Amino acid sequence: MSSLQLSSSITEIWGRKILRKNRYGVSFYGKGVEAAGGTQPILEMLMRNCEVASMIGTSFSSAPNRIHGPTREMPYEKLYSGDLSLTFRENHDAKVRRFFTKWQELMYVTDSGNFNYYDDYIGNIEIHQYTDGEDESSQYGIRLDEVYPKNIHEATLGYAVNDSYQTQTVDFSFRSWEVVN
């Protein structure tokens, strides 16, 4: 029995029937994205330059519940696993940082110290994982709803890093997510 399992596992790996971590795409859309200047060339550049992404996880809050007999853990609330963090390769004219800075500026009015209407700056993000091969079809995808850039990380500079390129990490807050395929 174990030789059959090993044989089929090898077939899956060599037959490319597994999902690979480096076959994914990230897309942005929605009112906030458009208002921040999310034109087609910018959105395509973001998709090409996103070098680190992750699929968000979920969990449930639970509490002990005992009516009769042994205590059971019962779920009472669905939890989403914090913020989404994406890392992008920065291009020569800092378009990545400029885009997300402009998106953040939609959120806050510097002169008054007030925040704009939530619906005016939120957007959506979709992350799809693709298969290898000719069809490159999406095998699994998620859509994050009510997204906005919560944190634009510092861009580290230094004279001792001659052989590396600039990256920009952005953390996104979101309300919920769901599987889209």
Asked whether residue 33 is domain-assigned, the answer is yes
> What is the mean predicted confidence (pLDDT) over 44-61?
90
For 92, the token pair is 């020569």
Split into its structural domains, the chain has a count of 1
Mean confidence (pLDDT) of the chain? 87
Q: Which domain holds residue 168?
A: 19-57+83-179
Residue 141: φ, ψ to 5°:
-145, 150
Is there a contact between 126 and 27 (Cβ–Cβ < 8 Å)?
A: yes
- Look at residue 156 in the predicted model and tell me its pLDDT: 87
- Helix orientation angle between 95-105 and 40-49, rounded to the nearest 10 degrees: 120
Confidence of residue 112 (pLDDT cuts 50, 70, 90): very high
Asked whether residue 108 is domain-assigned, the answer is yes
More confident of the two residues 66 and 136: 66
**Model-level pTM?**
0.82
SS3 116: coil
Asked whether residue 160 is domain-assigned, the answer is yes
